[in-house]
Structure 1
Amino acid sequence: MNSTILLFLLQDGITNGAIYALLGLALVLVFAVTRVILIPQGEFVTYGALTYASLCAGQVPGTAKLAVAMGIAAFAFDLFVARRQLRLRRIVRAFAVNVVLPGVVLALTLWLADRHPPVLVNVAVSLAIVALIGVFLYRLAFQPIAHTSVLVLLIASVGAHLALQGMGLVFFGAEGQRGPTISDMAFTVGQLRFTGQNIAVYAITITFMVGLWLFFGHTLYGKALRATAVNRLGARLVGIRTSLSGQLAFLLASVIGAISGILIVPITTLYYDTGFLIGLKGFIAAIIGGLVSYPLTAVAALVVGTVEAFSSFYASNYKEVVVFTLILPVLVLRSLAAPAVEEEKD
């Protein structure tokens, strides 16, 4: 290996690591607020990427219709929960959020499908569709069982992953897709060549990290999420709606996943099930960060991306094995450091 190859591998590792950092941050956020290990995070990546690719190809993605169907189901669920205290204002608000808003997004999608709008318009519509799916997913699958154990939430998460992956096959088919780049610019620095897509990955990752730091530290909703993460019961006692906190956490996670997919799809071909493997690598970074530390998760994601890049050069057939092996020493060390807990006797 010479210095040129080393620099290329480092560049590739940092680019991949930036994507994994975004996904790891989303996983930490959701777990801290809702105690849900978000297995469907990879589906948000897939849905965002393939929805964007479909819109750019002049097609109507099935995810827009899925958002409407999930919104109608969420509206019916809201009516059932509030059946004893139905008020016109509450019904109208629920109808507007759960039915009208997804319907408007679907109508906009149908109108734009054959008009080939600019790339940024397709990005915005894709983000809106996936964000709605994320919010409704929490409303239907996790909010009704928010009080249960982490194990029950994990089982629900696996079920949601399998359902979304199956629907992804229905919506996008088994063939892979690619989307257009956000920017066609390119320049060279020494021996390295940077494209507009690489710069977009770096810039968006840094922007999200800084934005989340400002959001959690200086906004009312961000402080509410932090309070819910620290003590869910205490947050409820001081008037914070933990259900709204959960929806907001899933909204942010779905947007982050969709953006990650949109950044990836011009670089590599994505299939309906590709997002699961990408999400798992973000999960490794989140585990190394203990599912609580945002900075440590970001650093771990860069390590995961770099290890993957060098593994693909030295042992491409085993790169996934090498990457997933990173989690083993972390789990061993954490298990040794954890205090012993006696099992309950019958």
Structure 2
Amino acid sequence: MDLQIALMLAQDGVVNGAIYALMALALVLVFSVTRVIFIPQGEFVTFAALSMAALQAGKAPAVIWMLVALAVLTLAVEAWRHMRGVRVDWMATAFWAVGMPVVACALIWGLKPTSQIGQTLAVLALIIPMGPLLYRLAFRPLAHATVLILLIVSVALHGVLTGLGLYFFGAEGSRTSAYSEARWDLGGIPVTGQSLVVVAAVVILVAVMFLFFEKSIIGKALRATAMNRVGARLMGIPTELSGDLSFALAALIGAVCGILIAPITTIYYDTGFIIGLKGFVAAIVGGLSSYPLAVVGALLVGQLESFSSFWASAFKEVLVFTLIIPVLWWRSLNTHHVEDEE
């Protein structure tokens, strides 16, 4: 390996690590607020990428029917809770189960966007409400369950969504048009405009998230819920709505990841699972609690994947996932063990 090859591999590692960083941030956010290890995070990536491909092919993505079904089921569940005397926030319910699906249907079936920007907005409107709707249907009824039970539900939900992905999109993979077709040769190292778009979009999104959590009232409320759910509830923070918002942000991040990587690699109905697992490895490096460490872990995973594909491509995935073993071993030696109830 010479310096030129090493720089090319490092460039690929940065691009891949940027995507894994977003996935890790989404996983840390959801876990810290709701205690859910959200295994289906990768399905948001798959649905967004394949929906974008369908729109560019002049078709309406079939996954919109899943959004409509989730919205109807959510309205039915909320009506049932209301009949039982449980207080229901109908404004938030109407926003996620009526407003956002109507916007998505209007963009996809009504406007039928042909520009790349319009298609991007349509995909975001389609994917984002899926997060809160899945949370309300699958996880909110188990809000006081143990982390293990929530993990089992998360794994089951992943299986369901993967099967639906195969049903809606088929087994064939798809790619989308790049946001930038520019190419440069810097010292013999090819640099594509799409890779710069990926890195720039990730940097901007991470900066916006930092400002959101540090400066906004809603972001501070989410942080408070993550630190002490009971204390946040006593201070008047609606923790159920915090779950809605954390899953909405996770869906947004997953959708952005899918839109960004679809021009770079072929996406299949189950591709998101591997991407989500690598984001999970990065999140574990951060202890599922530290956003900066999760980003560092993601860059480490990206570089390890890139260089291992050169040295031992057959064992690339094995080497990446093996990284989790020494991290867990080190954390087990340096972390005070407590029961889940504590």
TM-score (norm: length of structure 1)? 0.94
Q: Give the Cα–Cα distance (whole angstroms) in 2 for the partners of residues 340 and 230 of structure 1.
A: 18
Q: CA deviation at 1:120?
A: 1.1
CA RMSD of aligned residues (A): 1.9
Mapped contact 1:42–1:279 kept (Cα < 8 A): yes
Is 1:194 matched with 2:191?
A: yes
Pick aligned residue for 1:154 from 151, 165, 172 = 151
| Secondary structure of the corresponding residue to residue 83 of structure 2 | coil
In the other structure, the counterpart of 2:29 is 29
Is 1:304 matched with 2:301?
A: yes
In the other structure, the counterpart of 2:328 is 331
**Per-residue Cα deviation, 1:178-203 (whole angstroms, up to 9, x for no partner):** 11111222223222222221111111
Mapped contact 1:63–1:130 kept (Cα < 8 A): no
In the other structure, the counterpart of 2:98 is 99
Structural mapping, 1:191-340, within 5 Å: 191-339=188-336
In the other structure, the counterpart of 2:108 is 109
Q: CA deviation at 1:64?
A: 1.3
Mapped contact 1:65–1:106 kept (Cα < 8 A): no
Q: CA deviation at 1:100?
A: 4.6
Mapped contact 1:24–1:283 kept (Cα < 8 A): yes
**Identity between Structure 1 and Structure 2 (%):** 53
In the other structure, the counterpart of 1:167 is 164
Mapped contact 1:79–1:86 kept (Cα < 8 A): no
Q: Give the Cα–Cα distance (whole angstroms) in 1 for the partners of residues 279 and 124 of structure 2.
A: 20
CA distance change for structure 1 residues 273 and 340 in 2, over 3 Å: closer, same or farther?
closer
**Per-residue Cα deviation, 1:139-173 (whole angstroms, up to 9, x for no partner):** 11111111111111111111111111110001100
**Per-residue Cα deviation, 1:273-302 (whole angstroms, up to 9, x for no partner):** 010001000000000110011111111111
CA distance change for structure 1 residues 341 and 119 in 2, over 3 Å: closer, same or farther?
closer
Is 1:53 matched with 2:50?
A: no
CA distance change for structure 1 residues 132 and 339 in 2, over 3 Å: closer, same or farther?
closer
Q: Give the Cα–Cα distance (whole angstroms) in 2 for the partners of residues 147 and 106 of structure 1.
A: 34
TM-score (norm: length of structure 2)? 0.95
**Per-residue Cα deviation, 1:110-134 (whole angstroms, up to 9, x for no partner):** 2344xx5111111111111110111
Mapped contact 1:30–1:253 kept (Cα < 8 A): yes
Moved over 6 A (4+): none
Mapped contact 1:43–1:276 kept (Cα < 8 A): yes
For 1:34, the aligned partner's letter is T
For 2:108, the aligned partner's letter is T
Q: Give the Cα–Cα distance (whole angstroms) in 2 for the partners of residues 159 and 291 of structure 1.
A: 21
Moved more, 295-304 or 183-192: 183-192
The number of residue pairs the alignment matches comes to 339
| Secondary structure of the corresponding residue to residue 129 of structure 2 | helix
Q: CA deviation at 1:233?
A: 0.5
CA distance change for structure 1 residues 203 and 92 in 2, over 3 Å: closer, same or farther?
closer
For 1:40, the aligned partner's letter is P
Runs of 5+ unmatched residues, structure 2: none
Runs of 5+ unmatched residues, structure 1: none
Q: CA deviation at 1:68?
A: 1.1
Q: CA deviation at 1:62?
A: 1.5
Is 1:138 matched with 2:110?
A: no
Q: Give the Cα–Cα distance (whole angstroms) in 2 for the partners of residues 92 and 145 of structure 1.
A: 22
